[in-house]
Amino acid sequence: MRFPRTFFIDGSVEYVAPSQVLRSHNFRILLKEQMIECLKNDGCKKFMVGVLGKIEDGEPVEEQIDDMIRFFATLLTGVVEKNFDEDAALEFVEKLYNLWRSKHRFLLLHQPYEPRTLRRMYLEYKLARSADMFSSLVRSMYRELIYHISERSGRVLRQLPSGVQAAFLADYLPFSEKIGYNIPFVWSAVLYPPVIFHTWSNKRKGVFPVRERKVLGVLKLGETEWLGIPIKVGKVKMLVYTQKQHIAMLTGLLNLFKMAEFEEMNGGVDGVVFFGVPMDFVDEGEERGVVYQDPDTGMYIGIVPSSEETDYFGYMKKMILTVHNLLQIDRGNLPLHGAVARIVLKGGVEKIVALVGDSGAGKSETLEALRRLNSDLVEEVEMIVDDMATMIIENGEVKVIGTEIGAFVRLDDLPRHYAYATMDRSIFMNPGVVNSRVIVPFGNYDRIIVPWKVDYLLYANNYTPISGVKDAVKRFESVEDALRVFSEGKRMAKSTTHEKGITTSYFANPFGAVQKKDVHEKIAEEFFKQLFKNEIFVGELRTQLGVPGMEEEGPRMAARALVSLLSFKSAVSV
């Protein structure tokens, strides 16, 4: 049988006594999983036989679980006959403790939404206090069990993260009744970084198709099994519903998007996303996700079915961005898949640079290399957009608006110190494996929604080898040349998806642009003509991230070339 990997703790309880843990349903499920696992281990099994007298291979019966809980309750009092092997008992307790810490762990408190700042701060303090008390209780129980088994205490006590990884205040959003579901929404949260989640998948596959279908009211949800969050994707308002076994995905959103106030949603929402829908709701070809457009209202509704394959934060993020981009295309704006940075050089040169490219093109790596250049060259690199932006035309100028206040960064290609530098505020996904990621907040919402005038628009080419820094930047001579390269969306795949080798993706943007290609082509042509009319530099930046052996030196060369371009100095001199 498959045991749950996600546990919820009742936030309305003050945790002060071990009995509150031992009598809980969560502990019973956890203990049962550990007992079954220990039947495969002679030492662990020896301990269980000593406590229970006899145990057969297979699943323990409820009475045996009851006996084991009573044993631990008695052991915590310090009055117990030691008819068990001490080393085997220590091994069992250690494994049980580690099993708990390997789970996704959350505290949830249903609390009426509070708009007043001081009152909200008080409630958030109480939430954090409840979570801290629970964590302290779990740690103290573990240490007392170890002591009563061995009658020894460790000289070094490690305050391991033993409680929850996140705590939520949730209430029912009045407007959600119009959507058709009575599901509580998170309105405040406490994170305990570094938060580490191990998901069933670590790559994203395919493109989300867009189809017409009535969803709201037709899709049936077990309302006690879902939790929602209102977010702002740039200026777009969305409701995101998540099935509780996938709540790690909702938690990741806290570092990535601005959480919206309840009052902001009363005027209506622009899009809805459901993550963890039963697979039988979708049709063939929609198993990895689909966007439905309501035939009556035109609203876009993103659906990600529940499966091991889709249990990856990339599906959550990209579905939200796909819905966002479809809306922007309908509004005549141009969504860009890329990074945008405000770069300030020594001497006061300040430019807005937009780097366009699909995952693994070297955008983040180049900007990180730029930060590490000699301080005599670079004053500041401010990330405005990490992954998705929207270009608008305002008073004849092409400007860009961001979507995210955080970054979902691939660690494999970044310097080793990056993970440590961001650890104190980060959410890690699948550390230690290919395509491991970290979700780290980097920006202020009020900054990312400012329309920034674009000074340079560059396509991130990660596959072309170059002989020197001077060859890292190429300017396009015509709108046609620029559109050809941007539209082809070529790159060397970097293990961030299932793809391998040189791949192409229309405008490097499979998140809305390719689904509405005919409309997008007309919008893109209009924007590029305006860029060339305004004599904005439109070109290609060769990062070489996909060239073997150039994973670090390539972005460094691209960063140096970028400095020379912005400062009008020789590339060789920097």
Whole-angstrom distance between the N-terminal and C-terminal Cα of the chain? 60
Residue 239 and residue 225: Cα distance in Å, rounded?
Answer: 16
Q: Are 440 and 407 in contact (CB under 8 A)?
A: yes
Under 8 Å between Cβ of 396 and 451: no
User: Rg of the Cα trace of the chain?
Assistant: 27
Distance CA 217, CA 401 (A): 34
pLDDT at position 574 is: 42
pTM to 2 decimal places: 0.92
- Tokens 């997008």 map to which residue? 520
Q: What is the mean pLDDT of each run of 10 residues along the chain (574 residues)?
A: 91 94 96 90 81 78 92 88 82 95 97 95 96 96 92 79 96 82 95 95 93 94 93 96 97 97 89 97 96 96 97 97 98 96 90 93 90 83 92 97 91 66 85 88 90 97 93 96 96 68 92 96 98 97 94 93 80 40
Cα–Cα dist 264/46, whole Å: 59
pLDDT value for 66: 94
User: What is the pLDDT, as a whole number, of residue 571?
Assistant: 42
pLDDT at residue 349, as a whole number: 86
Q: 364, 388, 357: which is closest to 503 by C-alpha?
A: 357
Residue 341's alpha-carbon distances to 387, 402, 455, in angstroms, are: 11, 10, 11
Cα distance between residue 419 and residue 193, in whole Å: 12
List the chain domain ranges.
6-150, 174-330, 334-405+442-573
Could you tell me which CATH class the domain 174-330 is placed in? alpha beta
Could you give the CA distance from residue 532 to residue 270 in angstroms, rounded to a whole number? 33
CATH code of 334-405+442-573, in short, is 3.90.228.20
